Structure 1
Amino acid sequence: MAHSLRTVPPQLAERYRAEGWWRGRSLLEDFLEAVAKQPDKAAIVAYRAGSPLPTTLTYAQLGGLVDRLAGAMLDMGVEREDIISIQLPNGWEFPVIALAAQRAGAIPNPIPPIYRERELRLMLGHARSKLLFVPDDFRGFPHGEVGRRLQADLPTLQHVVVIGDESDTQGPRWTADLLGERRELDPALKCKLDARVPTGEDIALLLFTSGTTGMPKAALHTHDTLWASGLPMPWAMELTGDDVAFMASTLGHLTGFYWGMLLPLSTGQKVVYQDVWDAPAALDLIEQEKITWTLSATPFAQDLVDAQEKSRRPVTDLRAFACGGAQIPPALAHAVKEHLGAELISLWGCSEGGTTTIHRIGTPIEMVAASDGHVVPWQELRIVDEDLQPVATGESGRLQVRGPGVFVGYLDQPEFTADSMTSDGWFETGDLGRQVTDGGIRFTGRSKDIIVRGGQNVPVVETENILISHPQVADVTIVGYPDERLGERGCAVVVPAGAPPTLKDLTDHLAQAGMAKQFWPERLEIVDQLPRTASGKIQKYLVRARLLETPRQLTS
């Protein structure tokens, strides 16, 4: 795998180790240490929609299940650096599988449940995943059936485990075959697993990110870079093992996987999950479970405020709600403080570069609303123009980062890895921003051709490629437009071929192609032509500007 990774200059690597930003230690070791120190403490409390009671696992129980499943993975032939893909709703099963994969020396690959067959085929095929874990059915979608079809088509996908269907005879059964035997009691297994414990330099995670190419990018973090990328959160919010975390965002995304799973479980915290977002129920959980902090997209914070305004209830322990991916409206920051008693913490970062700017707890609301935080001590950030020259304070430019939290490259995509780094060693985030007067950084937009809808990147190019095949579409581009709740939504701007299509025509076409509903455009504008450069590229900034001036006539 090393052939596709970038090399960190030795002097920088030495500095990162000397400063303690790289530890040479895995997050799995931190978790195993927590299991040994506090076996009887609750580790996970998982709530499932429609179930009257949650599932609670202590650290001892969680550690036992991790070793049990890791032993089953060895029996299935899992080798070091094999990819284990996980597409599950938030619940206790996800951490068991992810940690068991690391315990067996493999690499977990979290995948959000919203992805459908088209996206999964690309991801699993590129990663050469050996195992896939999916639910039988989640929110009406037959993940198990899709998994079986993919297994028949992908030669490297040896096993598909369908959780929730114990009658399945086509693959190993979750309870009967994988968790039924108490393998963790075998001393010989512990020796085998201990020999596979990863180091800081080993790959901790494979995460697919949506970009401008239409092909998902397979980002890799080591345990060192992943740990460093997550340092800002406990530092800024002063978290300890006594804190209680809540995660509403999917564990299939970096937000949930690291801050909603690895961080709390490696520091000895209790973490609370909902499999389906329910704001009123979440307010009840905050009080019942004594939740003290969470991290999610801005719409989740707004939902909690709205639910509290409709039906007030005590919320005594929540002190911090971290938000990224969109500017925080001052009114929302005030509302979170008034209705939830918590501070809204704004931040900026990306999957590959880690969290680079953040506000610390105790920052005045006016400062939180004015920027996305200050650069953390262990990361470097520069704002440059197209010639890589620094821009003046207040001017927008390209945000580039360097530091111990930057990823190590894209799996078997050396061209993407090379393109993401400048010649002098900075990671090109594809984001734009400016420095405000107090030194904070304000994210202002994206040079990458993506839309961020409720914290989820929308693969614009892939969506456009499908829409252009519609018989009533001669030309098309998709751009984002502001949305108060989700931050952005997508608008399809279409040059028709004959009779103009309706929005339903386009979404039906995307549905037939197997694209996730969250990626569909939610607005349609019909135009005679799209503005282009001399080289033929669509001038999206002009399209966006005109869109903002156009009344919404064709909206879902």
Structure 2
Amino acid sequence: MCVVGPARTIPETLAAAVGSFTEHQAVADQNSPLTFGELHEQVRTFGAALVSTGIHVGDRVAIWAPNSPEWVVAALGVFQVGASLVPVNTRFKGAEAAGILRRAQVRLLVTTSGFLGNDYVTLLRGAGVELTALATTVTTDTSDTSDTSDTRTATVPWPEFLARATDATRGEADRRAAALTPDTVSDIIFTSGTTGQPKGVVHTHRSTLQAAQDWVAMTGLATGDRYLMVNPFFHMFGLKSGVLAALVAGATMLPEPVFDVGQVLRRVVEEKVTVLPGPPTLYQAILDHPERDRYDLSSLRLAVTGAADIPVTLIQRVLEELPFTDVLAGYGLTEGGTATGTSLTDDARTIATTVGRRRPGVELHIVDGDGRVLPGGQPGEIQLRSATVMSHYLDDPAATAEVLSADGWLRTGDLGTIDDAGLLRIVGRAKDMFIVGGFNTYPAEIENILLGHPDIEQAAVIGVPDGRLGEVGMAFVVLCPGAVTTPGELVTWSRERMANYKVPRYVQVIDALPLNATGKVVKQHLREQAATTPIAPNHEEKKT
């Protein structure tokens, strides 16, 4: 295995990759294939265009777009000039995205006017959120989508933006890249908090690079691997275990904008894909595809999964029916990187029912409610400390102090046990978070949105099992006196205001929520009710 390094910053990692893999293919794409040498030049051009546009060291630049070569170029270009990358979830609606851009004081946005039927530029303009810091919007579309009726933000198509680069600004971008330190902020990834307010997780070049390097060490990702990237780049996994891991290892990136099992199977055949990570639902969809046997999948080598409870039978089927020789599972979080992973010698039951052992350089223990370390086998909160732990939450010292101790221990909020073999099992999710098709989903955030409906007086959301997505949301609502809104209407209303994976698949109107003596909703009662009462979806099923 050939791995670049050691490098202290992301631009140094890119430069080292160019030195080691200049003519190797960095990005495989029908329209924009790039060698590592060509990728470096495009990154320098994008960085120079940022300088020409007035982006300074420490400014925030957001990307709200699907996986693509342009996403890779833009992200690396942001790092090149010392700015901070703010990825935005492509499933967000206009108000959700605008809230992130406003809180991060984003000065430049890279987006698209067409993805899954969404025109993100129009969605932002209709969100009703004042974005005083945002001066420039770059669209990856080739046509000019400028709207002269909105003079607050200049909208520039990708080719025109790149044309702003000059020899002078290329030189300035190179000087900035050389001046970066490992403690320079690299990215701010927003992850929904259980209070319903998204938190901006701030990472440095040091912690971000360490996460990428460790994922390469854990998986054996290597030069010559062809990595089909279904995991979205806006997520920690897609960015750090995807784009940056490929940079470290010299692997070829194959960005895939949206998961479609037929398209994935075709690309595996056509591109001789060797690496295909994803949530358990990805492998289930491949196994269940009625024409799977028509595709030559023999190139597949490495599968990496996690993020949800995994049936043992699924891992057994992956090992028996698909050609993967290496199958791994792991546990990580945006605030702390990948903390644990299984090994290549583990059996199907270990891969499915545990998340493996702590990674080198990671300290991990289980504590009780008073912070006392518990002996092996006893459930408690997972705490960890490593070089991949975040710096802080953006503009939120109180929230930072709640989860990050002065000596660097991160309270994950997840519950687990560690057995005598050092294997970590996740036994619960603190704060009632559930996972929809690989997306962390937080009830409080959905509840806060539902309470914006004029007919809803109270709302509580739980996760319930789903055969395709693992879990989906179920909302229990108490309507205002005299209101006659139906569950189906509430689902339709929700689809217009939140990302699809957050939308409750089921809604039940009830007279009152179960409360304890302190007035808190007893969600366990709702779970018991959901488990014993037949429920039917209140909508036509759509892709998440």
TM-score (normalised: structure 1): 0.89
5 Å-filtered alignment, 1:496-511, equals: 496-497=479-480, 498=482, 501-511=485-495
The answer to whether residue 92 in structure 2 is matched with residue 108 in structure 1 is: no
Equivalent position to 1:222, from 200, 204, 208: 204
Question: Could you say which residue in structure 2 is the equivalent of 1:288?
Answer: 270
- Number of aligned residue pairs: give it: 526
The answer to whether residue 182 in structure 2 is matched with residue 200 in structure 1 is: yes
Whether the 8 Å CA contact 1:24–1:200 is kept in 2: the answer is no
**Aligned-pair CA distance for 1:118:** 1.4
Identity level (%) = 29
Whether the 8 Å CA contact 2:211–2:241 is kept in 1: the answer is no
Gaps of 5+ in 1: 1-21, 47-52
Give the superposed CA RMSD: 2.3
Question: Could you say which residue in structure 1 is the equivalent of 2:151?
Answer: none
The answer to whether residue 237 in structure 2 is matched with residue 255 in structure 1 is: yes
CA distance in 1, matches of 2:281, 2:82: 37
CA distance in 2, matches of 1:449, 1:370: 20
Equivalent position to 2:261, from 276, 279, 292: 279
When structure 1 is superposed on structure 2, of 492-501 and 145-154 the one drifting more is: 145-154
SS for the counterpart of 1:394 is: coil
CA gap of 1:152–1:378, structure 2 versus 1, over 3 A, is: closer
**Aligned-pair CA distance for 1:261:** 0.8
Question: Could you say which residue in structure 1 is the equivalent of 2:439?
Answer: 456
SS for the counterpart of 1:547 is: helix
Whether the 8 Å CA contact 1:523–1:554 is kept in 2: the answer is yes
The answer to whether residue 530 in structure 2 is matched with residue 547 in structure 1 is: yes
**Aligned-pair CA distance for 1:218:** 0.4
Query: Structure 1 counterpart of 2:196, which letter?
Result: G
**Aligned-pair CA distance for 1:248:** 0.4
CA gap of 1:358–1:176, structure 2 versus 1, over 3 A, is: closer
When structure 1 is superposed on structure 2, of 136-145 and 520-529 the one drifting more is: 520-529
CA distance in 2, matches of 1:266, 1:174: 30
SS for the counterpart of 2:289 is: helix
**Aligned-pair CA distance for 1:480:** 0.6
SS for the counterpart of 1:490 is: strand
**Aligned-pair CA distance for 1:69:** 1.1
The answer to whether residue 327 in structure 2 is matched with residue 350 in structure 1 is: no
SS for the counterpart of 2:54 is: coil
SS for the counterpart of 1:475 is: strand
CA distance in 1, matches of 2:307, 2:276: 15
SS for the counterpart of 1:333 is: helix
Whether the 8 Å CA contact 1:134–1:147 is kept in 2: the answer is no
The answer to whether residue 165 in structure 2 is matched with residue 189 in structure 1 is: no
Equivalent position to 1:154, from 131, 142, 146: 131
CA distance in 2, matches of 1:258, 1:24: 15
**Highest RCO, 1 vs 2 (Cα 8 Å, sep ≥ 6):** 1
Question: Could you say which residue in structure 1 is the equivalent of 2:542?
Answer: none
CA distance in 1, matches of 2:159, 2:334: 36
Question: Could you say which residue in structure 2 is the equivalent of 1:529?
Answer: 512
Whether the 8 Å CA contact 1:211–1:450 is kept in 2: the answer is no
Whether the 8 Å CA contact 1:220–1:410 is kept in 2: the answer is yes
Query: Structure 2 counterpart of 1:463, which letter?
Result: I
When structure 1 is superposed on structure 2, of 222-231 and 465-474 the one drifting more is: 465-474
TM-score (normalised: structure 2): 0.91
1:93-129 Cα deviation digits (max 9, x unpaired): 0011001111111111111211111111211111000
Equivalent position to 1:517, from 500, 507, 532: 500
Question: Could you say which residue in structure 2 is the equivalent of 1:321?
Answer: 303
CA distance in 2, matches of 1:341, 1:371: 22
CA distance in 2, matches of 1:296, 1:62: 25
CA gap of 1:137–1:281, structure 2 versus 1, over 3 A, is: closer
**Aligned-pair CA distance for 1:427:** 0.9
CA gap of 1:188–1:511, structure 2 versus 1, over 3 A, is: closer
Question: Could you say which residue in structure 2 is the equivalent of 1:332?
Answer: 314
1:305-357 Cα deviation digits (max 9, x unpaired): 22276443221221221112112211111221223211431111110011111
1:59-103 Cα deviation digits (max 9, x unpaired): 122111111111111011000010000011111000110011111
When structure 1 is superposed on structure 2, of 164-173 and 238-247 the one drifting more is: 164-173
Gaps of 5+ in 2: 148-153, 540-544
Whether the 8 Å CA contact 1:24–1:224 is kept in 2: the answer is no
CA distance in 2, matches of 1:173, 1:81: 22
SS for the counterpart of 2:395 is: coil
